[in-house]
Amino acid sequence: EAQVTQNPRYLITVTGKKLTVTCSQNMNHEYMSWYRQDPGLGLRQIYYSMNVEVTDKGDVPEGYKVSRKEKRNFPLILESPSPNQTSLYFCASMSGRPTDTQYFGPGTRLTVL
């Protein structure tokens, strides 16, 4: 089954404790992206990647890091989480065709205390 998976689905952590949210897709997609969803703000793009070793900033990249060492994986790294990063995070993937649509993962709900 074609899918985007994220782990963990739920995470409660404390300020300053480094964490990684993993994202994996099995569709051989070139493009992957991370978003955060906050009430009243909709989805905002954090980072995206056009292919292995190619990443670029979205609208809200501060406080986040990403890497794309393999085509199928695109982890989101919070080096020193803060409470304002409490949010619902979505990973998405898409083929390289510019007219294609994004496929979203189930989401990761992160709480930073």
Partner 1 sequence: AQSVAQPEDQVNVAEGNPLTVKCTYSVSGNPYLFWYVQYPNRGLQFLLKYITGDNLVKGSYGFEAEFNKSQTSFHLKKPSALVSDSALYFCAVRDIEGTYKYIFGTGTRLKVLA
Encoded amino acid at 70, one letter:
E
Report whether the peptide linkage leading into residue 8 is cis, meaning its omega lies within 30 degrees of zero. yes
User: Regarding beta strands 10-13 and 108-112, do their DSSP bridges make them parallel or antiparallel, or are they unpaired?
Assistant: parallel
Closest approach of partner 1 to the CB of residue 65, in Å: 18
CA distances from 1 to 4, 5, 27, 103 (A): 10, 11, 9, 13
69 binds partner 1 (CB under 8 A): no
Which CB sits closer to partner 1, 69 or 99?
A: 99
71 binds partner 1 (CB under 8 A): no
Which residues is 35 bridged to in the sheet?
45, 90
**Cα-to-chain-centroid distance, residue 44:** 11
Among 34, 60, 90, 110, binds partner 1 (CB under 8 A): 90
Site map for partner 1, 26-65, x if CB under 8 A? -----x-x-x----xxxxxx--x-x-----x-xx------
Binding residues for partner 1, rule: CB under 8 A, are: 4, 31, 33, 35, 40-45, 48, 50, 56, 58-59, 90, 92, 98-99, 101-107
